[in-house]
Amino acid sequence: MTDFDLVWKNLFRKPLRTVLLTVSIFMAFLIFGMLTSVNVSLEKAVDRGSSTRLIVANKINFTQPLPIAYVNRVAAIPGVTLVSHQNWFGAYYQDARTSRFVGFAVDPENFLKISEEIHLTEAERKAFIQERTGVIVGKTVADKYGWKVGQTVPIQSQIFVQADGRRTWDMKIVGIFTGAKPTDPTPAIYFNYDYMNETISFGRDTIGNIIVKTASPDENDRVAKLIDTTFENSPYETSTSDEKTFSRAFLKQAGDLNFIVTMVVSAAFAAILMIVSTTLVSAMRERTKEIGVMKTLGFSSPRVLRMVLGEALLLSTLGAVLGLGASALVLKGISKQTEGSLGDLSMPPVVTLIGVLLALGLGLSTGAVPAISALRMRIVDALNRS
């Protein structure tokens, strides 16, 4: 019988206790795997933003509108090479609870010029620019609903209402676009701003934000200051930032995700550390005479230490593997269920690596006290302890 066999049998000498400890560790790593993976995926999505695009939004909050007249004034500012605009539509199809997706009313021609990551055929580009009721649909959305080019679909809004009280706009699909990579999720639609602006009952001639293209990232700060200075002390003051900064500010509306994830994961592991440590120390006390017998039979103190520490490492590794594996499966299921509308929800390799390191750290920290106790234990004391 090898040392590993002894470690395995000792670990499962009380199956119920081992199962409960494994489940506790499993839950901690399940929480870690899911929350950290979502956070990393969101950070990756933010980092995909262009380094030469700026977003001009209302200084009060990006949910507040700007006059569309600002677009031409921004275009005249030195350092600005291209300008477009967009308006959040609150789009959904048939059911607002289950069929929501990203929807923007845009200036078709300039929007396509400034959004290099949107890939369309030349015919689809021309059709989008020329067709007043045209809409381009991300492949993710098109695949989900089975939409085809040439089909007319009713798109509804959670925000806007038409003059006759309807919330539905009939739009003709003139193109289905992919992202920078064919596999990139494209959970969005874009349609003609003029079509929306002519029919809405409120908010006419206003936009959500302005997209600005600069010559180089070195120009960003200077151009941003010029834009904000231009509209200083006006009824609609602006706040201009690069696309990545704007995306991070958008995410922070839900709270500081890094802080939330860190606190939740830390609390889970702190609780598990105390539970497992206490349980392993108690288990070691139950086996005091057994350790004394092992040393009498010739097991050296370092060998006993390795075996006791091995139990803690095996326990933490078992719980971690199950927890991380379950996290990966759950994330894959969520991503499949949402058809990529929440981005690429998967477990990045860096999260797996951190999880493995955490499992090793948890095993070493929880097994340290009982292992050292076994190392220092004298045969006479062990055999005389009742």
Q: Which residues contact 93 (CB under 8 A, 6 or more apart)?
A: 99, 101, 145, 153, 154, 155, 156
Neighbours of 381 (CB within 10 A): 11
Identify any residues that bridge with 176 across adjacent strands, giving them in sequence order.
137
Q: What is the mean pLDDT of the chain?
A: 86
Q: Domain for residue 134, yes or no?
A: yes
In this structure, the answer to whether residues 41 and 66 fall within a common structural domain is no
Q: Domain for residue 92, yes or no?
A: yes
What is the structure's pLDDT at 1? 63
Query: What span, in angstroms and rounded, lies between the C-alpha atoms of 230 and 76?
Result: 11
Boundary-marking domain end, from 236, 269, 284:
236
Q: Which residues contact 189 (CB under 8 A, 6 or more apart)?
A: 91, 101, 102, 103, 104, 135, 136, 137, 138, 141, 155
**Ordered DSSP codes for 327-365:** HHHHHHHHHHHTTTTT---S--HHHHHHHHHHHHHHHHH
Q: Using CB atoms within 10 A of its CB, is residue 26 exposed (0-12), middle (13-18) or buried (19+)?
A: buried
In this structure, the answer to whether residues 228 and 88 fall within a common structural domain is yes
Which of 66, 65, 83 is CA-nearest to residue 74? 83
What is the structure's pLDDT at 301? 77
Q: Domain for residue 169, yes or no?
A: yes
Q: Domain for residue 342, yes or no?
A: yes
Neighbours of 228 (CB within 10 A): 16
Give the length of the chain. 386
Q: Domain for residue 241, yes or no?
A: no
Q: Domain for residue 250, yes or no?
A: no
Higher pLDDT, 372 or 131: 131
Q: Which three-class secondary structure state does DSSP give residue 57?
A: strand
For 316, which DSSP code?
H
Which of 197, 49, 32, 24 is CA-nearest to residue 114? 49
In this structure, the answer to whether residues 80 and 107 fall within a common structural domain is yes
Q: Quick one: tokens of 206?
A: 């206003």
Q: Find the radius of gyration of the CA atoms of the chain.
A: 30
In this structure, the answer to whether residues 143 and 229 fall within a common structural domain is yes
Number of structural domains (the chain) is 2
Phi, psi of 85 (to 5 degrees): -150, 165
What is the structure's pLDDT at 183? 65
In this structure, the answer to whether residues 122 and 21 fall within a common structural domain is no
In this structure, the answer to whether residues 84 and 223 fall within a common structural domain is yes
**Range picked from 36-40, 97-101, 120-124, 303-307 for highest mean pLDDT:** 120-124
Boundary-marking domain end, from 188, 203, 236:
236
Q: Which residues contact 29 (CB under 8 A, 6 or more apart)?
A: 319, 320, 322, 323, 324, 327, 355, 358, 359
In this structure, the answer to whether residues 358 and 301 fall within a common structural domain is yes
CA distances from 34 to 266, 287, 323, 345, 361 (A): 14, 37, 10, 9, 20
Does the pTM of the predicted model rise above 0.95? Answer: no
Asked if residue 384 has pLDDT above 70, the reply is no
Query: What span, in angstroms and rounded, lies between the C-alpha atoms of 132 and 304?
Result: 79
In this structure, the answer to whether residues 18 and 140 fall within a common structural domain is no
Higher pLDDT, 105 or 284: 105
Name the H helices within the chain.
3-11, 15-47, 70-75, 108-114, 122-130, 139-145, 193-199, 220-230, 243-251, 257-286, 288-296, 301-337, 349-376, 379-384
Torsion of CA 243, 248, 254, 260, to 10 degrees: 170
* 6 pLDDT tier (thresholds 50, 70, 90): confident
- The tens digit of pLDDT for each residue in 260-317 reads 777 888 888 888 888 888 888 777 777 777 777 777 777 787 887 788 888 889 999 9
The answer to whether 42 touches 345, Cβ cutoff 8 Å, is no
Per-residue pLDDT, averaged over 162-190, amounts to 88
In this structure, the answer to whether residues 66 and 199 fall within a common structural domain is yes
Query: What span, in angstroms and rounded, lies between the C-alpha atoms of 135 and 132?
Result: 9
Say how many CA atoms lie within 13 Å of 6 toward its Cβ: 15
Q: Domain for residue 159, yes or no?
A: yes
**Range picked from 24-28, 179-183, 188-192 for highest mean pLDDT:** 188-192
In this structure, the answer to whether residues 67 and 40 fall within a common structural domain is no
What is the structure's pLDDT at 282? 77
Q: Domain for residue 245, yes or no?
A: no
For 119, which DSSP code?
B
In this structure, the answer to whether residues 220 and 349 fall within a common structural domain is no
What is the structure's pLDDT at 344? 61
Q: Give me the domain span that covers residue 101.
A: 60-236
In this structure, the answer to whether residues 173 and 307 fall within a common structural domain is no
What is the structure's pLDDT at 378? 74
Boundary-marking domain end, from 183, 204, 236:
236
Higher pLDDT, 18 or 207: 207
Phi, psi of 235 (to 5 degrees): -60, -25
Q: Using CB atoms within 10 A of its CB, is residue 296 exposed (0-12), middle (13-18) or buried (19+)?
A: exposed
